[in-house]
A and B are shown apart, each in its own frame.
Chain A
Amino acid sequence: MSESAFLLARGLGVELAGRAVLRDVSLTLAPKHLVALVGPNGAGKTTLLRALAGLLPSTGDITVGGAALTALSLRERALRFAYLPQGHVVHWPLPARDIVALGRYPHGATDPSRLGPIDDAAVRRAMLATDTVGLAERRVTELSGGERSRVALARVLAVEAPVLLADEPTASLDPRYQLDVMQYLRDAADSGTLVIVVTHDLGLAARFADSVLVLADGRLAAQGAPAEALTDTVLTKVFRVSAYRAQHQSEAVIVPWDAA
């Protein structure tokens, strides 16, 4: 198993209600990378994340850490993929710490009030990394949107899975929280995780990601380093915008400017 390819997809396709939502997507993704998955609404970004995690049936091959996804049990998948859905839904007013502790569920630590030392340490690390320790006792339903998103992020970090899939984790957050969340994900990538994050913010994608996957109408339209993937042609064709571009602190700045 080479370092350069941890998660592979070949000819990935997904049909939902008779409609092809994903068509022939092939990916090779490496650990220690933050990958931004961008595309217009309805391009199939969420579907791709779900398919990669094995949460919905797909055609084609997915290999994770050298093992075929279809050969893995539900729990083995759960240990490999930490999945953060949109919206951070929590149906009961549980304390934040119990939510984070659910990240240890795949490890067999199903009861948050009886965590072993390893699981407890993982929960602690995740809460420290996301600055949520002070929220531990609070009920998640009483938290602000920004606090809730950090708790949700702590939950997926606590899985300590090799692949972290985050679906629009910065949606409806103020600029500071957006930067915080992207930085936490950046930190996770730097410490060895393959992070795939769906975002509509091309600026954040260009600023934080190692590589960008551009999805359009269920197909990969472009992929590569932010400046290579988010070219003017791609922005015009896929997003129907033109952008202002600059360099700031040796990072690419992309700001969608005009409808194209």
Chain B
Amino acid sequence: MTEGAQQLATIETAAARPRGVITLALLLIVGLLMLGSLGVGPVRLSPLTVLGALFGGGGEVEQVIVQQIRLPRAILGLAIGAILGLSGAALQGLLRNPLASPSLFGAPQAAAFGAVLMIALGLADVRSYALPVAAILASFVSVFALLAVAGGNAGMLLLILAGLAISSLAGAATVLVMNLASNPYVALEIAFWMLGSLEDRSFHHVMLALPFIAIGALILFSQRHAFRALSLGEETAQSLGVDVGRLRLLVIIGVALGVGAGVAVTGTIGFIGLVAPHLMRPLVGHDPAKLLLPSALCGAALLLAADIAVRIIPSSSDIKVGVLTSLIGVPFFLYLIVRERRSLGGGMA
């Protein structure tokens, strides 16, 4: 009896410690990347200069560069990276499926369509909420449709096929809007939305996106323990008192709010939601509840790093950060498919 009790006690502490250390390490990395993001650009600033300028010290030029030009960009990188990582982890928890992620479900593509439609209709301007609201509604519809089509106990194959269909549809709809747009300026603007970038963002953009992202993140995070119960399947989770239907709706709303608002100000940035939880699982374990916070931090770090990279990589014209994340994310996705090949093959049989 006592031996058993001791065994149980040691297990708890052994599991809790590394997770805390890893969270702290991630916070530190994110902090350093924030500093890096504030320092990197046409004018390179040292971390000390950045810190000084951030809190009102140093020259006026540095203050303007850091506070007004780079800070909104860094905040958006942090917030959007985090919500993408969190959304990916939440969707994977909800569907108990390691291939789930907002971008594979066509949520960003749908949000981009919503945003682009507003631009084409001339309803978008940086001070109005038409853009984020349209993007959020569009991504809500896409995730809702995907879960409705794939159903509760969807296998990977079904999810991927349904996601492919929805993102293709959203992509086609976006191209149609571009196609029909009479004004060439609008077409250019739309093309930009499909690439995804954090360049030249102001605090207006932060104000447009951040409240929705924060609410979406809170909703997703508040459901973390239900994801753990869902590890036993929907029926068993229900027998433990989890309202699975309500949970699903909350996750769709949380993901739509976060991803929709993010896309509305940066365009589509893909694959962070897929990659972040996978990077975190070997470090913090597979518990879907304990995975949410590390995935959010990892997502933030990934996007901040990618956004620093596009500023450092020498090129004749600007590389968009959304292009970079896809370039890295798609091969990773292929690697996952290879790894899950057996269960995918089983799904087809």
Q: Interface of A with B (CB < 8 Å)?
A: 50, 53, 55, 74-75, 77-79, 81-83, 85, 89-95, 97-99, 102-103, 105-106, 110-113, 120, 123-124, 127-128, 133-134, 136-137, 139, 155, 159
The answer to whether A98 and B228 touch across the interface, beta carbons within 8 angstroms, is yes
The answer to whether A89 and B8 touch across the interface, beta carbons within 8 angstroms, is no
Q: Interface of B with A (CB < 8 Å)?
A: 1, 3-5, 7-8, 11-12, 14-16, 96, 225-226, 228-233, 235-236, 238-243, 285-290
The answer to whether A128 and B232 touch across the interface, beta carbons within 8 angstroms, is no
The answer to whether A133 and B238 touch across the interface, beta carbons within 8 angstroms, is no
Q: Cα distance A105–B235 when bound, in Å?
A: 14
Interface residues of chain B: helix, strand, loop or mixed (majority)? helix
**Chain B, residue nearest A111 (CB):** B225
* Contact A133/B239 with A92-B286, A94-B287 known, Cβ cut-off 8 Å: no
The answer to whether A99 and B11 touch across the interface, beta carbons within 8 angstroms, is no
The answer to whether B4 and A127 touch across the interface, beta carbons within 8 angstroms, is yes
Residues in A whose Cβ lies below 8 Å from that of B232: 89-91, 99, 102, 155
Residues in A whose Cβ lies below 8 Å from that of B290: 113
The answer to whether B231 and A78 touch across the interface, beta carbons within 8 angstroms, is no
Q: Cα distance A133–B288 when bound, in Å?
A: 23
Q: Cα distance A81–B236 when bound, in Å?
A: 11
The answer to whether B11 and A137 touch across the interface, beta carbons within 8 angstroms, is yes
The answer to whether B240 and A102 touch across the interface, beta carbons within 8 angstroms, is yes
Interface residues of chain A: helix, strand, loop or mixed (majority)? helix
The answer to whether B231 and A94 touch across the interface, beta carbons within 8 angstroms, is yes
The answer to whether A136 and B11 touch across the interface, beta carbons within 8 angstroms, is yes
**Chain A, residue nearest B9 (CB):** A120
Residues in B whose Cβ lies below 8 Å from that of A113: 12, 15-16, 290
**Chain B, residue nearest A78 (CB):** B241
Q: Cα distance A103–B236 when bound, in Å?
A: 10
CB distance from B5 to the nearest CB of A (A): 6
The answer to whether B231 and A91 touch across the interface, beta carbons within 8 angstroms, is yes
* Contact A78/B239 with A85-B233, A89-B232 known, Cβ cut-off 8 Å: yes
The answer to whether A105 and B231 touch across the interface, beta carbons within 8 angstroms, is no
Which among B7, B11, B225, B232 has the greatest number of chain A C-beta atoms within 10 A? B232
**Can you add 15 more A-B contacts, CB < 8 Å, to A110-B226, A123-B8, A139-B286?**
A50-B235, A77-B241, A81-B239, A85-B235, A89-B232, A89-B236, A91-B230, A92-B96, A92-B231, A94-B286, A94-B287, A95-B11, A113-B12, A113-B15, A155-B232
CB distance from A196 to the nearest CB of B (A): 14
Q: Cα distance A141–B285 when bound, in Å?
A: 13
The answer to whether B241 and A136 touch across the interface, beta carbons within 8 angstroms, is no
Q: Cα distance A71–B316 when bound, in Å?
A: 69
**Chain A, residue nearest B5 (CB):** A124
Q: Cα distance A250–B8 when bound, in Å?
A: 40
Residues in B whose Cβ lies below 8 Å from that of A95: 11, 15, 285
